[in-house]
A and B are shown apart, each in its own frame.
Chain A
Amino acid sequence: MNYPKGFNNFSQKVKSGEISCCALAEFYLSNIEKNKHLNAFLEVYADEAIQQAKKLDKKIENCEKTGRLAGMFVGLKDNICYKNHHVSASSKILEGFESLYSATVVERLLAEDAIIIGRLNCDEFAMGASNENSAYGAVLNYFDNTKVSGGSSGGAAVAVQANLCTASLGSDTGGSVRQPAAFTGNFGIKPTYGRISRYGLLSYASSFDQIGPITSTIEDMALLLEIISGNDEFDATCTQKPVEKYSEINKIDRKLKIAYLDNYINSNGVQPEVKEKTYQIIENLKNKGHKVEAANFELLDYLVPCYYVLTTAEASSNLSRYSGLLYGYRSKNSIDLESTFKKSRSEGFGDEVKRRIMSGTFVLSSDYYDAYYSKAQKVRRVIQNRTKELFADYDYILNPTTPTTAFEIGGKTNDPIAMYLADIFTVQAPLAGNPALSIPCGVDNNGMPIGIQVMTDLFNEKHLINFAKYLCEEIIK
């Protein structure tokens, strides 16, 4: 039996008993088995999934009330904690580590009867854009196994792409949900900073990190976002603003003001099909009577440097807890406290993580703090202010999510700077705190997916979802 993608396409049939959770569980588990070569899952909770499915089926049979996610099988990026399950951030330093608690988002999924089906490969500590920095190897793009999945939430994107689970949760610091979503033809969101609790998300850069779903439909995105958002006493950076009903998607009934950043789209290295697709969407929007204008974001060149100074600084401190002392990997070659720290970290972390810890330590060191960290903080404020100004004038900003479609595995691994520059279109949203959604909008000449990114004002997720649905149904053809 084959089940369609998109929870919204079959959830009613689960509630009515027409589709059993057990059948769904078997379907996903066999897909996972068939697609092991993709390397999307680090661990599959097969037995638990079947047990949970049986329980749910019994509930449905007995006409008991079930949660809104009954029948949804969710994969978790391997940096989100699930009580009594391993979590490793795809790093050797946390090999074998079991979390003693569940992330707030996981609690909320479980409360609505979602079934957690496994944990998903990612770049080590979410640092990367191709999933090649995982201690457990790259994730292959389902559409072309020689291409990357994108990253850092590569496993989360490919698992949904290949229908190995209904949806997944990733985390986005500089594009880690949106970029792999774009590379795999999925929806992926970086919500407003503070919209979703980070409690239970292994921190990479605290003032940037947000958990975001990866889904195959906009309806699933809306539903998951609605369920996992909201205030949490365990995360002081989480907002108390009430959560709107994202899942009740409204029609667009007015003419919108939309900007596209011309210097983004025309910057070097943007693939022709990506550019073409973007301009086509712009044209279609204009034809519908919306006001679509080119705006200039003159800070483009500062985005990536500012992002890397600040995120590496925070990461260098956030990752200090992985020291071989209380949990995780401890070097067998250590003889005292200092060598426990040094050797455990040297042996436990991968190259990219070490590179970022060292960069971050450097930019925070007393001799360079003013020149780098402090300056980058000021630049971030300028970016925030400029972004705010844009949203005083426009409802949405449209851009390609990525300059290119998924690239070759191994294509950029020797050039970290080229890899960093691939983040160019995705880092503005986390630098400014704004929400941004990547929407699949077609394929390039090789059949690889292209994503269009819509960014909007802070906490405007409700309208963002409405607009995304409109784009999917009436604009993207």
Chain B
Amino acid sequence: MNSKYEVVIGLEIHAQLLTKSKAFSGDRAEYGNHPNTNVSVVSLAHPGTLPRHNKNAVEKAIKIGLAFNCQIERYNKYSRKNYFYADLPKGYQITQFDTPICKGGFVKIKLKNGTSKKIRLTRAHMEEDTGKSIHDIEPQNSLIDYNRAGTPLIEIVTEPDIRTGEEAFQFLTEVRKILRYLDVCDGNMEEGSLRCDCNISVRPIGSSEFGTKVEVKNMNSMSNVKRAIEFETERQITAIEKGEKIAAETRSFDALKNLTFSLRSKEMVNDYRYFPEPDLPPLIVSDEMIKQIAKQMPQLPEQLYEKFLNNYNLGSYDASVLTETKEIAAFFESICKTCSNYKAAANWTMVHIKGYLNENALEFDDFKLSPEKISNLINLIDEGKISNSAAQKVFAELINHPNDTSEIIAQRLNLIQTSDTTELEKLIETALNKYPQKINEYKSGKTGLLGLFMGEVMKLSGGKADPKIASKLIKDKLEK
């Protein structure tokens, strides 16, 4: 990137709220149903139908506001945004205009260099989603699925605080993580339950005025957001360098070609004729309601991260991996209830369990073993009953027999470590007899050969020998 310029980026995020019913009707709000089945006279805007409040959507919006440190609006008016389009049955969208439910607030992101940065939010408001136009099924016609029409959305708008595609990526990651922690949005960009539009402009470093803003849409993954910003930055700088003027326009991102292209100019702006929605009285949010919701707030990733560092003495890498999702954090914490070896609990969660889940494309919710089973397994290791490598065999077997205990499986697989010294001494004798030459070398100072003898002993014991005891006995024997 040309170092003479600074990029200024603001994001608009639309998140579908996970409610059972739609924002202003009793219709089901679900993804993936057969087209035009989650509809009713209300969501299809039949004559005489009226919207009604969905208290659940409001509560979820307040949760988001609390998580993002926003001020919560007490007097929530709804407004109508008027325009004609095929996916908008009423000819207007119910939204919030001058009284967004969340004002201000910020999201802290971690940068690659280890520092963190606050991205300020302008507002977050409630509104309803539109239906979905589908242009690529029939050559002559557009098809419309109204299942989505009326699904509750929260639109989060940032201040122009973002400077790079990487920061936008980190911001989206953090927002999605928090939305998922709150259980208010499933955050699936591919399915469109989380959508992001970018406003991008560039200006010479040091300039206090903003350059001409270009809006980029249709980026259906976080990495596409990053790529689109990077492309758009280069495009705008190159144009400015050539002395061209940046057009105020809306552009779309083409992920295959990795470029943005113009959709429409912003010179002819739509007049949406916003006015207060007369069918919905203002919704008053009481202090009591906010208090109740605050009580139900889960621990957020940032709080957990601090807790994992301080209470469980984990390193920052472990703490951040273990707070990536609410589920992994909860699993780790559950193990720690019955296991005081936090480091081992962290390793098992991050490495073995997560590895197993990744390999099998499963989620923590699908994991069959209870945290207690894992804690038992760790305790077996710590008690010296099985070795680390044996524990992995037990783990694999445990998954197939989730009702058994680790100890029973270890016995069944004959993995309980031998600490019986007479038995061990016999094995050591056999092992050493195989390498008379090496014994001499060891005695003349090549103590590194201990590993060779240990390996042999472990092999003979079938992995059951307690390595600590075995190594002590071998040393004793050789150094006699």
Contact surface of A with B, Cβ cutoff 8 Å? 79-81, 87, 89, 94, 97, 99-101, 103, 198-203, 205-207, 233-237, 313-314, 316-317, 319-323, 325-327, 337, 341, 361, 364-366, 369, 373
Contact = CB atoms under 8 A, between A and B. Distances in A.
Which of B86, B89, B279, B281 has the most CB atoms of chain A within a 10 A radius of its CB? B279
Interface string B354-396: 0000000000000000000000000000000000000000000
A99 B47 contact: yes
B43 to A, nearest CB: 11
A321 B273 contact: no
A89 B90 CA distance: 17
Query: Does more than half of chain A's interface fall in helix, strand or loop, or is it mixed?
Result: loop
Interface of B: 41, 44-53, 80, 82, 84-86, 89-92, 142, 271, 273-275, 278-281
A321 B41 contact: no
Contacts of B44: 326
Contacts of A365: 271, 273
Given A233-B52, A236-B280, A325 B275 contact: no
23 contacts: A81-B48, A99-B47, A101-B41, A200-B49, A202-B48, A205-B278, A206-B278, A233-B52, A234-B50, A235-B50, A236-B280, A237-B279, A237-B281, A314-B278, A317-B82, A317-B273, A320-B82, A321-B90, A321-B91, A325-B86, A325-B89, A326-B44, A361-B273
B275 A366 contact: no
Contact of A201 (B48, B86, B92, B280): B48
B275 A317 contact: yes
Given A206-B278, A317-B92, 20 more contacts: A81-B47, A97-B47, A99-B48, A101-B41, A103-B48, A198-B50, A203-B50, A206-B279, A207-B278, A237-B50, A237-B279, A316-B273, A320-B84, A320-B90, A320-B92, A321-B45, A321-B89, A323-B91, A326-B44, A364-B275
A356 to B, nearest CB: 15
A436 B89 CA distance: 35
Given A101-B41, A199-B50, A313 B275 contact: yes
A390 B80 CA distance: 33
Contacts of A316: 82, 273
Contacts of A314: 275, 278
Contacts of A201: 48
Contacts of A373: 275
A236 B281 contact: yes
Nearest to A194: B281
A86 to B, nearest CB: 11
Contacts of A103: 48
Nearest to A360: B273
Contact of B49 (A199, A205, A323, A341): A199
A317 B94 CA distance: 11
Given A321-B89, A321-B90, A99 B275 contact: no
Contacts of B41: 100-101
A94 B46 CA distance: 11
A233 B51 CA distance: 10
